[in-house]
A and B are shown apart, each in its own frame.
Chain A
């Protein structure tokens, strides 16, 4: 009876002669992902999009546009699609009109040497009415999970089922998990490039999340969670970040003064805690906020502040004869800052976003915060009073970008109705950061008292200018990268 009911009737276009129908077939190989995109346009859209010039040139142009509209990501990293083959053809339609069919073959490199999560979406001509279908299968790799089927029910847009009890497909995105191996369980390989600290931090924050979300929150459990967040904050402040070099260089150019160090540590902590809390509250209240985009914007702000400070430093360095500063601060800071700038999005983003199963996009923003904080630890300057403002502004810039892991913990606690506890966790997190910063500052102060500084005193006259330039460079870099992450 049911079979009779869903007896399939084949129809030309299930959505009428005004539809643009899409099929995306994904095939994941060991070393690449292939994508066959078919766009089947009914009579009217075919008429509306006239082909100028030869059909193959039109196909190439259209496929290039399609490629730009396709969003594919492996573990949060965009896939680089390349068009390999294109074709475009007309077919006779109703009332003497024509329909058209565009076929694009795309490929993107991908190494499936460990389980990967792939996301895919095709926004090409996304505002038109039409059938939308995505399929995914593996060749030489195994799909352990997939939100889309392996086979096309429309025969790749040739036979649309059109019975009364089926609705046209409207699948616009897919999420699949692939593993190495063909049918047998994938062998997980240790991931090179993710350093131990990142991995252990991820584990730690997972643990913290689990604690905060525990069904029953006992006192020892709560204390353990707070301790963990303290530890996490400390580790975060110690993690490599581009911003810290700015701070290091900056503070290196000043007289060593513990007071400044404390001020900076406190400011970073306070700004960071406040930032996390405000962001958390806002995200909870308004569902239309994009945490990731906010973090991105905060990254831009932070970068701009650093740049501004760099500019003003440079200006003042021209006017004042600088105080002493060790040259090693420059060299170190410079290379480190840049090197980090590139890898940052990956290393950090992965560590945190992944650990919490929360927005992978958090990655780009948060590094700033720790970076600056850490950098401050170098603070062995007793700067002029008028520079203290700059130090604090740097610290604000450093703490401005809330750490996603702290944010996730806070949101998790709020969702469970444990807002107060979440806030305590975040404060502890900040305290942990401050602790590391101060410890680093003290250590450097000791170091600075040793011979190292004295030997480098020859470079003293240039240090202020170099520091300022460095700050400026890093600030520009941070801003640019944050902006590009936004786009």
Chain B
């Protein structure tokens, strides 16, 4: 679970409230200080998925998960003073051609405490407040409201507070103008990972104060969008490749009557684990504030990808040889997409924007790239590309992909070189903690404690 994703890293990693009120003996009033780092889960992008919808193959499903590590039966809310966004780049420049933006508002009063267990009555985060959302599409300089007063599926709080939960799930799935669908709300977290892969890949990374391997919930923003709405020029056959990332921005505040109260981007997520594994720890908070169109010249993303510190650490732990820098293979995987038309060592046309007919030049930017024309695999393989399943990660990401293992193996050299394919036993028991469903939003109903 730790590896849930890049942005989660930042806030979770330092993990702890560095310091709150001091209780130094004998000094009640002489010293004040506040937490330095907090569990700022509300704006934590934890996972991003993008794949061709298996039963509606003219559409793409994108799931952005926020607020990780939700305990069963506990309510969690989105930040009402933040923007949650999913961006689509169909030109390979790092600029969003289409952006879907969620904003949230609280509705009505909290559910009475009579039906709530005592331990659920702590903070506002813990009160079961119904939320509604507005979904806006930003495209070509104009914005269009797709959903107003949308229903956010709450946590499953038991039969009295949230009776007939499956009906609430259905209520939270809405049709969008133009043939798409949206789901917003709580679901079982589909993330899973292999323990051995996690312990190798995360060596030297901060420790999560979270028990892994426990089924937990997450707050999902899920879209199912016709491919033609996302493809460059609306032509999904000629321009099938898109790049996807999600961001959260929160309204800041001035101080002492001056300073800006603008929205600040506090979370960014494209490829899973990219921020944790590729970006050095010291720059991880910074990565969260960056936009992909600045990656090429920003002096952080490109050099970090070409020579990731973590590769050496992991290789040493795993007692294998790490490929030598510069890692053009990682650049191809994470920053350009796989293509034979560039100078990357992976000789395969898969998911680079260069495969789009109307694209001639691309920038190196970190995005989760999906070729929408790759046929849906009859038997999906959780190791995706590495096991020859072209529809799997890193060509987009499906709910069943074991991205931690795939990232670990790619960090150690696959698929450009021999790498260390056997580093994680393929018959390991890692599996989805709660099976996904066959139709949108595919996410299992929230985990409950009962």
- Residues of A at the B interface (CB closer than 8 Å) are 18, 284-288, 415
Contacts and interface: CB of A to CB of B under 8 A. Distances in A.
Given A287-B117, A288-B117, A415-B450, 7 more contacts: A18-B25, A284-B158, A284-B159, A286-B115, A287-B119, A288-B118, A288-B119
A288 B117 CA distance: 6
Contacts of A285: 115, 158-160
Nearest to B73: A287
A415 B158 CA distance: 11
Nearest to A286: B117
Interface string B153-171: 0000011100000000000
B207 to A, nearest CB: 13
Nearest to A419: B159
Contacts of B159: 284-285
Contacts, number: 18
Contacts of A415: 450
B165 to A, nearest CB: 13
Interface of B: 25, 114-119, 158-160, 450
A285 to B, nearest CB: 5
A364 to B, nearest CB: 25
18 contacts: A18-B25, A284-B158, A284-B159, A285-B115, A285-B158, A285-B159, A285-B160, A286-B114, A286-B115, A286-B116, A286-B117, A287-B117, A287-B118, A287-B119, A288-B117, A288-B118, A288-B119, A415-B450
B60 to A, nearest CB: 36
Nearest to A287: B117
Contacts of A288: 117-119
Nearest to B158: A285
B163 to A, nearest CB: 11
Contacts of B119: 287-288
B411 to A, nearest CB: 27
Nearest to B160: A285
Contacts of A287: 117-119
A285 B117 CA distance: 8
Nearest to B118: A288
Nearest to B115: A285
Contacts of B118: 287-288
Contacts of B450: 415
A18 B24 CA distance: 12
A46 to B, nearest CB: 15
A18 B23 CA distance: 12
A286 B114 CA distance: 8
A286 B113 CA distance: 10
Contacts of A18: 25
A286 B157 CA distance: 11
Nearest to B161: A285
A284 B159 CA distance: 9
A167 to B, nearest CB: 14
A415 B448 CA distance: 12
A404 B115 CA distance: 23
A286 B116 CA distance: 6
The 8 nearest A-B residue pairs measured at CB: A287-B117, A288-B118, A285-B160, A288-B117, A285-B115, A285-B158, A286-B117, A415-B450
A420 to B, nearest CB: 13
B114 to A, nearest CB: 8
A431 B119 CA distance: 38
Contacts of B114: 286
Contacts of B116: 286
A288 B116 CA distance: 9
A412 B116 CA distance: 21
B166 to A, nearest CB: 13
A284 B160 CA distance: 10
A393 B450 CA distance: 37
B164 to A, nearest CB: 13
Contacts of B158: 284-285
Nearest to B114: A286
Contacts of A284: 158-159
Contacts of A286: 114-117
Nearest to B116: A286
A123 B315 CA distance: 52
B108 to A, nearest CB: 21
A355 B194 CA distance: 42
A13 to B, nearest CB: 14
A404 B121 CA distance: 29
B110 to A, nearest CB: 16
B28 to A, nearest CB: 15
A289 B45 CA distance: 37
A285 B159 CA distance: 7
A413 to B, nearest CB: 13
A469 B117 CA distance: 44
A12 to B, nearest CB: 16
A304 to B, nearest CB: 26
A288 B450 CA distance: 14
A415 B119 CA distance: 20
B259 to A, nearest CB: 41
A230 to B, nearest CB: 28
Contacts of B25: 18
B99 to A, nearest CB: 42
A288 B158 CA distance: 14
B441 to A, nearest CB: 24
A121 B119 CA distance: 23
Contacts of B115: 285-286
B47 to A, nearest CB: 30
Contacts of B117: 286-288
A415 B159 CA distance: 12
A284 B450 CA distance: 9
A19 to B, nearest CB: 12
A287 B158 CA distance: 11
Contacts of B160: 285
A287 B115 CA distance: 9
A279 B296 CA distance: 65
Name the residue in A18, A284, A415 with the highest tally of chain B Cβ atoms < 10 Å from its Cβ: A284
B122 to A, nearest CB: 13
Nearest to B449: A287
A286 B158 CA distance: 9
A20 to B, nearest CB: 15
A284 B115 CA distance: 10
B391 to A, nearest CB: 36
Nearest to A16: B25
B155 to A, nearest CB: 15
A240 to B, nearest CB: 37
Nearest to B121: A288
A284 B448 CA distance: 13
A47 to B, nearest CB: 13
A50 B243 CA distance: 72
Nearest to A285: B160
A415 B450 CA distance: 7
B115 to A, nearest CB: 6
A165 to B, nearest CB: 13
Nearest to B450: A415
A153 B166 CA distance: 52
A415 to B, nearest CB: 7
B427 to A, nearest CB: 28
B113 to A, nearest CB: 9
A184 to B, nearest CB: 41
A302 to B, nearest CB: 25
